Amino acid sequence: NAGVTQTPKFRILKIGQSMTLQCTQDMNHNYMYWYRQDPGMGLKLIYYSVGAGITDKGEVPNGYNVSRSTTEDFPLRLELAAPSQTSVYFCASSYGTGGKETQYFGPGTRLLVL
Partner 1 sequence: ILNVEQSPQSLHVQEGDSTNFTCSFPSSNFYALHWYRWETAKSPEALFVMTLNGDEKKKGRISATLNTKEGYSYLYIKGSQPEDSATYLCAFRGGSSNTGKLIFGQGTTLQVKP
Contact pattern for partner 1 over residues 59 through 88, marking x by CB under 8 A? x-----------------------------
Strand partners, 78: 19, 64
Binding residues with partner 1: total (CB under 8 A): 29
DSSP label at residue 38? -
Tell whether residue 26 is a contact of partner 1 (CB under 8 A): no
- Residue 52, φ and ψ in degrees, nearest 5: -55, 130
Nearer to partner 1, 29 or 81 (CB): 29
Binding site for partner 1 (CB under 8 A): 4, 31, 33, 35, 40-45, 48, 50, 56, 58-59, 90, 94, 97-108
